[in-house]
Amino acid sequence: MNEELNLYVGWFFYNLICILLFCFILFRLKTKQPKQLIYLTILVCLLIAVFGNAITMDYRAYWKIIQQIVYGSRKHIHLEEIYKWYISQIGANYILWQMAIYVPAYLVFYYIIKYLNIKRIKLFLFLFVILILYYDCIGSRQFLFIIFYYSSLLFIANRKFLLGMVVLCASFYLHKMALMALPLAFLFLIPLKNKLILFVLIVIILTIGCRIILASYIEEIAQIAKISGSDGYLSTEGEADSTGSIWWEIIGTYTLYTRLVLLTICLYKTREIVKSGTTINKLIYAIVFWTTLLSIFFKYVGLANGTISYRLLSIGAIGFCYLFTLVPEYSRIRNWQKIVFVIMMLIYFVLTNAYITGVSHSVMLGELPLE
């Protein structure tokens, strides 16, 4: 598919599903068949991922990786062996590559939604497409790992230990972030206590305080203890970031802090889950709680370039979308809060579009076509 056509297909379908779900939330539209809305959302997400993901930074990077594996050497490619083998079998067919990643990912995603039996499904889908679809779920193999990671934890929480451990171990081969995520799985399965939550909060606050006080020394420490992601494709985005305008800084800052604010509010409003929630709800609360706090920790410690912090937020993203749908069950939502939420989401949506049509468009189309 032509690169420019790919870009506009992705942009069109992304806006289509966002606006559709926005209308359902804003005008409180009802649907007699929630399953049809789930099918439609997943289908559109899949279309974007396979045929329109030129709207993401990873598009160009994966093109280069595939070309290099097929026509060059794969020794220095930072990609898991299972993907290198698959690319060597299909050749330089980008569509087949995307289908291999996203068809199984979205199939499993559907069964996770079905298993959770989400009551406010429109809100869940709305948060998914507005907050995390573009940034986490259509650009790379990370989404495939996260989906299988979640399914393994749900199996274990449901006492299907053998199946859960098999899926958990299998996910290790899907993305390098498994090196960080697999140890966290045991942390997620430890029951949370109010005293433990308080202790962790104090540690995080002290960490941020030390980060501010010792700011002049952090850069030197970070260079020594640098553990940033070594994935080759990340450098493309990093370079684009450094050369971007003030608008990119505004977009990045707003999207990050919007998610952090909503995460904090969500965790506070649903804190009673720790005491009286179901096993599954307690698990998801723990996932969101730990990934949020550890993400803040790594961000403000000053280690690396934010890769670890970003990956942790990505792990907790789907859990957050589900947990947010439970907020009305634990707290009264006032009208002014609903208005503020809608405005925040509208700004988030507009800025994401600015990112797509501005940064992604200029970076991709500004490069020479690949041979």
pTM of the model: 0.84
For 104-137, write each residue's pLDDT tens digit.
999 999 999 999 999 999 999 999 999 999 888 8
Q: The tokens of 141 are what?
A: 């193999």
Residue carrying structure tokens 């790594």: 298
- Which string of b and e fits 261-274 if b means at least 16 CB within 10 Å? ebbeebbebbbebb
- For residue 29, what pLDDT is reported? 76
Rg (alpha carbons) of the chain, rounded to whole number: 20
- The per-residue pLDDT of the chain, averaged, comes to 81
- Looking at per-residue pLDDT, the higher value among 230 and 302 belongs to 302
Domain region containing 62: 1-140
- Looking at per-residue pLDDT, the higher value among 271 and 195 belongs to 271
Q: The tokens of 180 are what?
A: 């960080």
Residue 85 in domain: yes
Residue 346 in domain: no
- For residue 361, what pLDDT is reported? 56
Q: What confidence category does residue 262 fall into, taking pLDDT thresholds of 50, 70 and 90?
A: very high
The closest of 202, 190, 201 to 285, measured between CA atoms, is 190
Residue 221 in domain: no
- For residue 236, what pLDDT is reported? 41
Mean pLDDT of the region 139-158? 90
User: What backbone torsions phi and psi does residue 358 show, to the nearest 5 degrees?
Assistant: -100, -75
- For residue 218, what pLDDT is reported? 44
Q: Any idea what DSSP says for residue 333?
A: P
- For residue 197, what pLDDT is reported? 67
- For residue 213, what pLDDT is reported? 59
For 205-250, write each residue's pLDDT tens digit.
666 566 555 554 444 444 444 433 344 444 444 444 444 567 777 8
Residue 115 in domain: yes
For 88-103, write each residue's pLDDT tens digit.
888 888 889 999 999 9
The closest of 123, 141, 126 to 56, measured between CA atoms, is 141
For 304-358, write each residue's pLDDT tens digit.
556 788 888 999 999 999 999 999 999 888 999 999 999 999 999 999 998 887 7
Rounded-to-integer distance, Cα 23 and Cα 45, Å: 18
- For residue 297, what pLDDT is reported? 78
Task: Classify the phi-psi angles of 117: left when phi > 0, otherwise alpha if psi is within -120 to 50, otherwise beta.
Answer: left
In angstroms, the Cα distances linking 52 to 66, 207, 362 are 17, 41, 16
Q: Please count the structural domains in the chain.
A: 1
Residue 358 in domain: no
Q: The tokens of 15 are what?
A: 């806006």
Residue 30 in domain: yes
For 49-91, write each residue's pLDDT tens digit.
998 888 887 887 888 888 888 887 666 677 888 888 888 888 8
Residue 66 in domain: yes
Rounded to 10°, the helix 161-171/178-188 angle is 160
Helix (H, G, I), strand (E, B) or coil at 277: coil
- Looking at per-residue pLDDT, the higher value among 78 and 145 belongs to 145
Residue 129 in domain: yes
Q: What confidence category does residue 183 fall into, taking pLDDT thresholds of 50, 70 and 90?
A: confident
